[in-house]
Amino acid sequence: MSASRLAFVRKVWQSFIDAKGLETTILSGATIKSADAGTITAGFKVQRHQLNRMGGLHGGVLAACVDTFGSMALSSKGLYSTGVSTDLSVSYLRGSKEGDDISVVARVDAQGRNLGYTSVDIFNSQTGKLLAQGRHTKFIAPALTDERNVDLGQ
């Protein structure tokens, strides 16, 4: 893991937070832990506002993890603007509750001139059990020419 790659991914993550959009509300408290070329890890503690009415971690939060952290995986390859979603799917395997520590591993599976494909695994950090798996496709053609992109020496 290079310090400059991690710093860049954290800069992109901060731009999501600074925009005061969905990520600020849904994924508040999440942090980027590590970044390698095409892979990032992130984590957060489940908070009350992330629960469904039955007291479990809301599936929408997990879908937001697939979307957002899949984008962060693309940023680990030097993309500042990470494109727009064209497809997203999530398989929910286990539940989680308030106070649980969540770990996210997001990877770029393939990247071309138009599309980027990511996969995201979401775990309970305490048990190591897989909570959800997601796939995310993004249209990245315009993002490839963003002047804020950096060469991280893939």
Confidence of residue 154 (pLDDT cuts 50, 70, 90): low
The model's pTM: 0.94
Examine residue 7 and state whether it is found in any structural domain, yes or no.
yes
Q: What is the per-residue pLDDT across 128-145, written as a single tens digit (0 to 9) for each?
A: 999 999 999 999 999 999
Examine residue 136 and state whether it is found in any structural domain, yes or no.
yes
What CATH number does residue 7 fall under?
3.10.129.10
**Nearest CA-CA partner of 110 in 68, 77, 88:** 77
Examine residue 151 and state whether it is found in any structural domain, yes or no.
no
Please report, rounded to a whole number, the percentage of residues in the chain having pLDDT higher than 90: 91
**For the chain, what is the domain count?**
1
Q: How many CA atoms lie within 13 A of 101 on its CB side?
A: 7
d(CA 73, CA 55): 30
Return all residues near 71 (Cβ < 8 A) that are at least 6 apart.
16, 82, 83, 118, 136, 138
Examine residue 152 and state whether it is found in any structural domain, yes or no.
no
What SS3 state is found at 35? strand
Give the pair of three-digit tokens for residue 81.
Answer: 């603007």
**Residues spanned by the domain of 110:** 3-145
pLDDT at 1: 54
Examine residue 154 and state whether it is found in any structural domain, yes or no.
no
Structural contact between residues 77 and 123, judged by C-beta atoms closer than 8 angstroms: no
Examine residue 76 and state whether it is found in any structural domain, yes or no.
yes
